A and B are shown apart, each in its own frame.
Chain A
Amino acid sequence: MSDVLVFAEHKNGHLPKTTLVALGAGLELAAKQAGKCVVVAAGEGTEELAAHLAGYGVAEVIALEHPALKNYVADAHAQALAALAKELGVQAVLASATAVGKDLMPRLAARLGAPMASEVIAFGEDGTLVRPMYAGNVLATVELSGPLRVITVRATAFEVAARGQSAAPVRKVAAAIDPSALKTELVSFEETKSERPQLSEARIVVSGGRGLKAGENFKTVLEPLADALGAAMGASRAAVDAGFVPNDLQVGQTGKVVAPQLYLAVGISGAIQHLAGMKDSKVIVAVNKDEEAPIFNVADYGLVADLFKAVPEMVEEIKKLKHS
């Protein structure tokens, strides 16, 4: 038997899709190991969130409470979670590989003296884990040995947990935190304001690359297309490096990994590192004037065209379609 503790990342009590994926993965791993899945919501005043989490088919929900956990900061969360993992005696701690998961889980692993596998995409029957390396050009089957394992999962690789009828017991736990070891102050969070869906949660993603030529063209050319489709905006690393758009739009090995229903790559050549971030999308469309661009090797529909003509035309066609 082998129990799994899932860290439920939340923003002011709201659960992003990536957390539901972590729950789905945690339930799958626990079932494979004939263990139970326990989920923890850390923060201050997490009762409501904990009660909500109880409906996802888990064995128990822990509301881990402490004023120092009100906002996410690595040192406080690593301390509190490590103490909880030990108290529960679980054999695995799992989170989604979001900015928070990536920041927290290695620190937690070091605190627990446990080995860790990042961005896992599948669980083997024999206890092995599958994870991408080299920008997704290699899939490695890895094994973590020892009594406790730390895992982050790639949000595009697992199904979200489903809410059911039954509710698991909720237990409130006062977090064990040594305040003298808290050395980090969260000064501010500046949210990127957007009416569009989040990149990692969107059904459709419209991404631009170096072919857009300037940052303002993301606004004047690409945004109307994203708006017409109700899509999230993304970008290639080349576009980020050129300063066209902020890094949180970056799709690729060094940015976000997405797998929407529809991915439109506009003016993106398709470097290995970009493909690593989007090649699991259901349908890929590429618009590029260079017919030799590698992006066409992964695209379901490719259009060789000047994007500055083709994209406004697409916007018109989509609008026509919606009005017909």
Chain B
Amino acid sequence: MKILVPTKRVPDPATNIQVLPDGLGIATENVKWVINPFDEIAIEEALRIKERLGTGEVVLAAVGQKSWQEQLRTGLAMGADRAILVLNEKALDSIAVASLLAKIVADEKPELIIMGKQAIDDDSNQIGQMLAEMLGWPQATFASKVEIKERRCTVVREVDGGLETLAFALPAVITTDLRLNEPRYASLPGIMKARKKELKEVPAESLGVELTPRLKVRALRPPSKRQAGRKVSSVAELVNLLHSEAKLI
């Protein structure tokens, strides 16, 4: 089975994000760039499915700048077979990225797409669902368990107030939640092998997609800071304050 895993390069989740003084971007010096953590889970799941079936191919995709090669190589070092980088320098909105990915899908014809539920930079949580609609495929977002038997897929989803189970025939789009798996680290032999794996570059303009964003970011600003309150010395004092001062218990 061919599995496509769209990925994004994002600042390491532990980064202390600073807005630039002009409000038009974030400071990128000293930022460590990583594969979006939810996409890492997606790569891991794709690799596990391939390992279980004993056959198949895991193809990574990304829409971004030349520098994103680095994160795709990391994914290849985890065990993915090859990667496609759609080269683009300008800001894109989710619809444009999903449209570009739909073009890659038309070309690659995967039977399954697995990707992170959201990228931890813009936190939009949109592209998997948009891609599913554009392809006319079923979607299972926020997956915590995936089972595939003879081209039929069962997914347990983490929803409000419980777990929901969906079933559908492939092809389909699945987006990952945290508890789906724990991604492996790239091994040294994996890193060596990854250098020789195919990493194809495709210019975004060559795909015939309208790229002008219809979601435009006008300005960024840091949120107002919450003031630290006071330390209390005992449980009795704490409960008393919550009762008499905050009047909450």
Chain A interface residues (CB < 8 Å from chain B)? 16, 73-75, 78, 98-100, 102-111, 113, 115-119, 128, 132-146, 181, 183-192, 198, 200, 204, 229, 237, 240-241, 246-248, 250, 253-254, 261-262, 271-273, 279, 283-285, 291, 296-305, 310, 313-314, 317-318, 321
Contacts and interface: CB of A to CB of B under 8 A. Distances in A.
A296 B226 CA distance: 11
Contacts of B122: 133
20 contacts: A75-B138, A102-B142, A103-B129, A103-B142, A134-B11, A134-B26, A138-B220, A139-B222, A139-B223, A141-B219, A141-B220, A142-B218, A143-B215, A189-B163, A262-B246, A296-B231, A298-B228, A300-B229, A301-B241, A305-B235
A272 B229 contact: no
Interface string B107-146: 0000000000010111111111111111011111110100
B229 A299 contact: yes
A100 B95 contact: no
Interface of B: 11, 13-14, 16-17, 19, 26, 38, 93-95, 98, 118, 120-134, 136-142, 144, 154, 157-169, 172, 177-179, 213-223, 226, 228-232, 234-236, 238-239, 241-243, 246, 248-249
A112 to B, nearest CB: 10
List of 4 A-B pairs having minimum Cβ-Cβ separation, nearest first? A300-B229, A106-B129, A115-B214, A106-B126
A252 to B, nearest CB: 10
Contacts of B142: 99, 102-103
A299 B79 CA distance: 44
B138 A241 contact: no
Contacts of B121: 133-134
A187 B16 contact: no
Contacts of B26: 134, 138
B228 A296 contact: yes
Contacts of A16: 160
A99 B249 contact: no
A313 B14 contact: no
A192 B162 contact: yes
Most A CB contacts (10 A, CB to CB) among B216, B222, B239 go to B239
B134 A99 contact: no
A139 B215 contact: no
Given A190-B162, A272-B14, A140 B217 contact: yes
Contacts of B232: 301-303
A106 B125 contact: yes
A138 B167 contact: no
Nearest to A193: B162
Contact of B139 (A103, A132, A253, A291): A103
A260 B123 CA distance: 22
Contacts of A247: 144, 158, 177-179
Contact of B226 (A132, A185, A279): A279
A41 to B, nearest CB: 18
Contacts of B215: 115-117, 142-144
Contacts of B134: 110
A184 B228 contact: no
A198 B161 CA distance: 8
A116 B234 CA distance: 48
A66 to B, nearest CB: 18
A188 B172 CA distance: 19
A241 B120 CA distance: 17
Contact of A301 (B130, B136, B229): B229
A184 B138 contact: yes
A186 B164 contact: yes
Given A183-B138, A240-B179, A144 B214 contact: yes
Contacts of A198: 160-161
Contacts of A102: 125, 141-142
Contacts of A262: 242, 246, 248-249
Contact of A115 (B14, B93, B129, B133): B93
A146 B133 contact: no
A268 to B, nearest CB: 15
Given A99-B159, A247-B178, 15 more contacts: A74-B129, A74-B132, A78-B133, A102-B125, A102-B141, A116-B94, A132-B123, A138-B221, A141-B218, A145-B214, A185-B166, A185-B167, A261-B248, A271-B14, A284-B226
